[in-house]
Homo-oligomer: A and B are copies of this chain.
Amino acid sequence: MKVALAQINPTVGDFSANLARIVDAAERAATMHAELVLFPELAICGYPPADLLEKMAFLDRAQEGVAELARWTAVAGRPAILCGSVERANVPEGKRARNMAVLLDGGEQVFLQAKRLLPFYDVFDEQRYFEPAAEQTLTVWRGRQLAVTICEDAWNDKLFWPERRYAIDPVDELMRGWPEGAGPRLILNISASPYWKGKRGVREEMLGALARRHGATVAMVNQVGGNDSLIFDGSSLVVSPDGVVRARGLSFTEDLVVFETEQESLREPDERVAGAARDERDEIAATWDALVLGTRDYLRKCGFRTALVGLSGGIDSALVAAIAVEALGAENVTGIGMPSEYSSSGSIEDARALADNLKIRFELVAIREIFEQEMAALEPMFRGTAFGLAEENLQARIRGSLLMALSNKTGAIVLTTGNKSEMSTGYCTLYGDMVGGLAVIADVWKTRVYALCAYANRECEVIPRSTMEKPPSAELRPGQKDTDSLPPYEVLDPILEAYVERYESAAEIAEAQGLELDVVESVLKLVERSEYKRQQAALVLKVTEKSFGLGRRFPIAVKVQV
């Protein structure tokens, strides 16, 4: 039997467009003689719908979508559809919705399985919305037993995970207890599994282990596309019972993978992601692709066509501009240079060279006179005080207000250029360089910003060498360097990564990294003191396992022992 995995890119709440995408993919699968087409988790409404699930009209619209799709399958010769959607739970107690997989065939809903394991950690809030399935049932369809699971349901194999989040293993419940050879041969998993660094490798190992353990083919279809902070990579998988990956969907783009359940793959794995062991070079390319897709989709789904990037001549804004150009096209990106008296002459030249390389429009707006005017207005209150943080931030905020004025005037979105090291330490100005609709690289450590710039320059020099080689500086006072306030990034980033992503304590970090405790503590205190800035930050594209935003919920008015 031929089965198709249709990794589509839905927009949350855009039911008609999502249904059109589903039907389009199903029609293409039909031309390839697929009998069954799988679509991702919540494909009809898009994942994650968040509190839209608390609106009954939203659940009802999804239910209508299921009925429309069922009608589509009524025409003879069309494939059956296994698709993710939501429905009202209709239970006297508990949550109002269910996250479910529906099997539609011959005009009817022939099987339904609700999700059993509802993730509620990091960015996932599913227990906020969904009643879990009481149990897992096999379905026999066209003479075959199908083990249907939804995303997390397949992520709790006790032989694979050293620590488990749930006591239940739905896959094991479906697959165990059969006499040799009589059990289901096909485990289907419909997912909305967001990308982060290293996750594609984990998925392959995990599904490989599952396939081997249960002696079944595992087919996983994953959503693709950016929805707010989350970037779904697709990378759908077919793993044969020996644990070998037989087919892969493309990463970061829609794709349709058709496989024969009784044969080897009909399709060669995509070249760039081939091989189970992905190296660091692959992950840099994947992060780049993720950021491009996340940027493109956020703008498209919000209705923006064009973007503005403040270009300082530094490496962060250069990277964001390069990503924006790949996402939107050079004609849709404008760079704005906003020099002050503390900007080095090289900075303007570097910004202009970048704009030339990227073939984007570049405008200069000087802020010196505005700054002087604001200082004059503040003079009665600032009199007798030294130049300091207020004056530094004021320059950044003037730049922010100019970018926003241009955004309001032209309808272009401002892309924020701060990196994760800055966001962690608060080395950034709220309402200044933090303004914008999307923080493109705020989940990328500074040391990885360099690697991504090198990747951007892989074919020719896009980001000027002088931008990559000069010491990082905010250029908000004469001769300023980042290292005046922070340890060098090669020292800083590993400390931050241990604290922000893995929640290690100061003592553990100092011990593991061979650093003085007070150096570590002074960095961690910066993280704690800047939580208020992060809570007002633009939406961050998530590319690591722990990014700022919804997946990391810390209070502000606290006393924290680092």
Contacts and interface: CB of A to CB of B under 8 A. Distances in A.
B167 A553 contact: no
A557 interface: yes
Interface string A142-159: 000000000000000000
Interface stretch (A102-110, A279-287, A377-385): A377-385
Given A302-B556, A555-B12, A377 B370 contact: yes
Contacts of A226: 557
A389 interface: yes
Contacts of A14: 558-559
B404 A558 contact: no
Interface stretch (A28-36, A71-79, A244-252, A395-403): A395-403
A502 to B, nearest CB: 10
Given A94-B165, A128-B121, A301-B557, A408 B390 contact: yes
B559 A13 contact: yes
Copies of this protein, total: 2
Interface string A121-151: 1000101100000000000000000000000
Nearest to A393: B408
Contact of A52 (B50, B369, B404, B555): B555
A378 B400 contact: no
A405 interface: yes
A383 to B, nearest CB: 11
A427 B431 CA distance: 18
A409 B536 CA distance: 21
A474 interface: no
B556 A539 contact: yes
A484 interface: no
Contacts of A554: 50-52
Given A93-B164, A228-B557, A398-B401, A369 B380 contact: no
Nearest to A401: B397
B94 A558 contact: no
Contact of A120 (B128, B406, B430): B128
A373 interface: yes
A544 interface: no
A431 B437 contact: no
B401 A558 contact: no
A227 interface: yes
A558 B52 contact: yes
Contacts of A51: 552-554
Interface in A26-53: 46, 48-52
Contact of A367 (B92, B377, B385): B377
A182 interface: no
A500 B388 CA distance: 42
A298 B557 contact: yes
A55 interface: yes
Contacts of A553: 50-51, 125, 550
Interface of A: 11-15, 17, 46, 48-52, 54-57, 61, 92-95, 120-121, 125, 127-128, 164-167, 226-228, 297-298, 301-302, 363, 365-367, 369-370, 373-374, 376-378, 380-382, 385, 388-391, 393-394, 397-398, 400-402, 404-406, 408-409, 430-431, 435, 437, 503, 505, 532, 535-539, 550, 552-561
16 contacts: A13-B560, A14-B559, A50-B554, A94-B165, A95-B165, A120-B120, A120-B125, A127-B127, A302-B557, A370-B373, A374-B402, A378-B406, A388-B409, A397-B404, A430-B435, A532-B539
List the 8 closest pairs (A to B, CB-CB), nearest first: A301-B557, A390-B408, A14-B559, A397-B401, A390-B409, A12-B558, A13-B558, A93-B164
